[in-house]
Chain A
Amino acid sequence: GQSLEQPSEVTAVEGAIVQINCTYQTSGFYGLSWYQQHDGGAPTFLSYNALDGLEETGRFSSFLSRSDSYGYLLLQELQMKDSASYFCAVSANDMRFGAGTRLTVKP
């Protein structure tokens, strides 16, 4: 089976840096994805790591260590609009989501 662990809530202030960790157990692995979801909306794709290392896209970066079954999403220069739920997801034969991390950015 598959399981993913990520923190349920994180709070930070504007301009700060936040790291959301994700550990996973899976049989078969293509890659680790991160999605952002605002209340009432569909998940939107943020990043996908198939190989070890850091992927940077603007203020967001994602890291993967396949040997440690671990990844993280790094959000820099936080803005109020970044308040949302963030899901890590493992791709194997299908895609399974973690329970989500609710990020609250305060002024």
Chain B
Amino acid sequence: GAVVSQHPSWVICKSGTSVKIECRSLDFQATTMFWYRQFPKQSLMLMATSNEGSKATYEQGVEKDKFLINHASLTLSTLTVTSAHPEDSSFYICSARDNRGLNEQFFGPGTRLTVL
């Protein structure tokens, strides 16, 4: 159990376009999901906390108007990178908290975004 999927697994886009990444908890409900970004050879940096039915909480330095997060249901959160630029190229990873038991977080497989 406790599987999280992400779609797409990789995407290449032109500068100035927008890209939407989906994160789904497949076999549990998640009121809270998290979005991380990881640059090469660096750690995972928390971008924002996504709460079902309410606005996301963004970490300092993360532009909320650029990285739009929607958590419309208990199993789906989306991250939209608007007007993407080459510096947004990164590995984006979501996780979902399973509120049953020990509040464990389960990670999706990640989405590699390349902006040309």
Could you list which residues of chain A lie within 8 angstroms of chain B, going by C-beta atoms? Answer: 30-31, 33, 35, 41-45, 48, 50, 87, 91, 93-100
19 more A-B residue pairs beyond the given contacts A42-B110, A91-B105, with a C-beta to C-beta distance below 8 A:
A30-B102, A42-B107, A42-B109, A43-B93, A43-B107, A45-B106, A48-B102, A50-B102, A91-B103, A93-B49, A94-B34, A95-B34, A95-B46, A96-B46, A97-B43, A97-B45, A98-B43, A99-B42, A100-B43
* A50–B103 CA distance with the chains assembled, in angstroms: 10
B46 and A45 contacting across the interface, CB-CB below 8 Å: no
* A94–B39 CA distance with the chains assembled, in angstroms: 20
Contact (A87, B104) CB under 8 Å given A94-B49, A95-B95: no
B44 and A97 contacting across the interface, CB-CB below 8 Å: yes
Main secondary structure of the interface of B (DSSP, over half): strand
Most buried by B among A31, A41, A91, A95: A95
How many contacts between A and B, using CB within 8 angstroms?
48
In the complex, which of the residues A45, A94, A98 contacts B107, with contact meaning CB atoms closer than 8 Å?
Answer: A45
Residues of the B chain whose Cβ atoms lie less than 8 Å from the Cβ of A44: 107
Question: Which B residues between 91 and 106 are near A, CB-CB below 8 angstroms?
Answer: 91, 93, 95, 102-106
In the complex, which of the residues B42, B45, B93 contacts A42, with contact meaning CB atoms closer than 8 Å?
Answer: B93
Nearest first, the 9 closest Cβ-Cβ pairs linking A and B are: A42-B110, A97-B44, A42-B109, A99-B43, A30-B103, A97-B43, A100-B43, A50-B102, A95-B105
Q: Which residue of B lies closest to A42 (CB)?
A: B110
* A91–B93 CA distance with the chains assembled, in angstroms: 16
* A97–B42 CA distance with the chains assembled, in angstroms: 11
A87 and B103 contacting across the interface, CB-CB below 8 Å: no
Residues of the A chain whose Cβ atoms lie less than 8 Å from the Cβ of B103: 30-31, 91
* A49–B104 CA distance with the chains assembled, in angstroms: 10
Q: Which residue of B lies closest to A48 (CB)?
A: B104
* A96–B59 CA distance with the chains assembled, in angstroms: 12
Residues of the B chain whose Cβ atoms lie less than 8 Å from the Cβ of A95: 34, 46, 95, 105
Most buried by A among B34, B46, B103, B108: B103
Residues of the A chain whose Cβ atoms lie less than 8 Å from the Cβ of B109: 42
